[in-house]
Amino acid sequence: MTDSLLRTPLCTWHESHGGRMVDFAGWWMPVQYASIVDEHLAARNAAGLFDVSHMGRLAIDGPDSQAWLESLLTRRVSDMLPGQCRYTLVTSDAGSADGLAVLDDALVAREADAADGSPRMSMVVNASNRAAVVAWLRSRLPKAGVTLVDRTSDTAMIAVQGPLAVALVCGLCPPADAERIRGLGVYRATQAVVAGVPAAVSRTGYTGEDGVEVVVPAAEATSVWEAILTAGADRGARACGLGARDTLRLEAGMPLYGHELQATSDPFALGLGLAVNLETPSGSSREFPGAASLRRMKSHAADRVRVGLAFDSKRSAREGSLVVAAGGTADTPLGIVTSGSFAPSLGHAVAMALVDRSAAAAGTMVDVMIRDAAQPARVVPLPFYRRPAARG
């Protein structure tokens, strides 16, 4: 059965280092090595290494590549310069009654230009949505001017996250590359030689920590991974699995497609309006698949909005748990949990939920039905966790 699962270039390493492997979106991935809590805290206090090679990496090249994405994505890309990354949604207007299906959330980047001066673009998409996004994009490709290549299986992607992450990676680069990486602002990227391997390095992540995501050829993945881990081991750097990846992103208030974000979601209700540019900088309308529906959503505020919930116990609500008024019952829910877990950096359980606007003000007390027991929770602003004041 596990023979049909996809393996990242680092799978053998995970298996031989205590990785507890599971099927995640059709990939054989480590949930944890020893302890999710230990791995989570390593990323917060030192550096965590995450194999995120399962995520889809798409290369979009050709003279019309940037303009084509401008016509397709919810986010403006036409004004992106080489080395910039932006968070966007991928929306289609195909096959839905009201003209909008959110297919994924993604990072789009402009790479260094091609030798002939054409722009080169890239996207990183969720593993679970790669097939659907690629099919959608291919269905919209023009006959010429744009090429789309799925680079996922040629490459590996390693996220290094935490207060020591940037220094750790820079220590494995030539001085000029290290200087350039240190100088990257968030959502900026560069090319660098990391542990002897040419890599794309972006100052991005999914943890709320400082750090980078490093893309290397698949054949070099293990040597780069081991070089980073070895260099940082005595300072607390640790390999981290998907379990810690989830608790980290939850504490950071970051959405996960399939949980907070779904095909029929209202991005504005989720607080993801920054991913939707309905206008150009000069104020003229941007048109892209689903734009009309998004305009309607923006002008007609949704009934339910995303909030954070903090519990005073460690008992966790999970996705699907009903939110009810304090002292209320499951017969009259006023919301639903989209993600929930114990938060290792906080010492108590937290959840993200979609709740009625009437219950969305910070400080509102609600009950959450956890296996038929009502657990009190307080609405709190997101994120739950902010890292201590940043680099100098």
Partner 1 sequence: MAAEMKFAKTHEWIRPEADGVATVGISAYAVEALTDLVFMQLPAVGKKVKAGESFGEIESVKAVSDLYAPVSGEIVAVNTALPGQLDLLGKDPYGAGWVMKIRPDDPAEMSALLDQAAYDAVIKNASH
295 binds partner 1 per the rule CB under 8 A? no
- Residue 39 or residue 260: which is nearer to partner 1 going by CB? 39
Joined tokens for residue 368 = 């959450």
Binding-site member from 344, 345, 369, 377 for partner 1 (CB under 8 A): 344
Binding-site member from 53, 92, 277, 316 for partner 1 (CB under 8 A): 316
Residue 3 burial (CB count, 10 A): 6
- Give the range of 76-84, 89-97, 325-333, 337-345 binding partner 1 by CB under 8 A: 337-345
Min dist CB 247 to partner 1, Å, is 6
Residue 17 burial (CB count, 10 A): 14
366: Cβ–Cβ under 8 A, 6 or more apart, which residues?
309, 323, 324, 325, 326, 334, 335, 355, 359, 376, 377, 378, 379
Residue 5 burial (CB count, 10 A): 16
DSSP 300-356: S--SEEEEEEEESSSPPP-TTPEEEETT--TTSEEEEEEEEEEETTTTEEEEEEEEE
Min dist CB 31 to partner 1, Å, is 7
Joined tokens for residue 239 = 């390999």
Distance CA 239, CA 126 (A): 21
- Give the range of 26-34, 46-54, 287-295, 381-389 binding partner 1 by CB under 8 A: 26-34
36 binds partner 1 per the rule CB under 8 A? yes
Min dist CB 315 to partner 1, Å, is 5
Min dist CB 82 to partner 1, Å, is 40
35 binds partner 1 per the rule CB under 8 A? yes
Cis peptide before 383 (omega within 30 of 0): yes
The footprint of partner 1 on residues 206-245 (CB under 8 A) is 243
The footprint of partner 1 on residues 165-194 (CB under 8 A) is none
Q: How many amino acids of this chain bind partner 1 (CB under 8 A)? A: 18
- CB 324 within 8 Å of CB 375: no
Which residues are at the interface with partner 1 (CB under 8 A)?
Answer: 20, 31-32, 34-37, 243, 247, 313-316, 341-342, 344, 349, 371
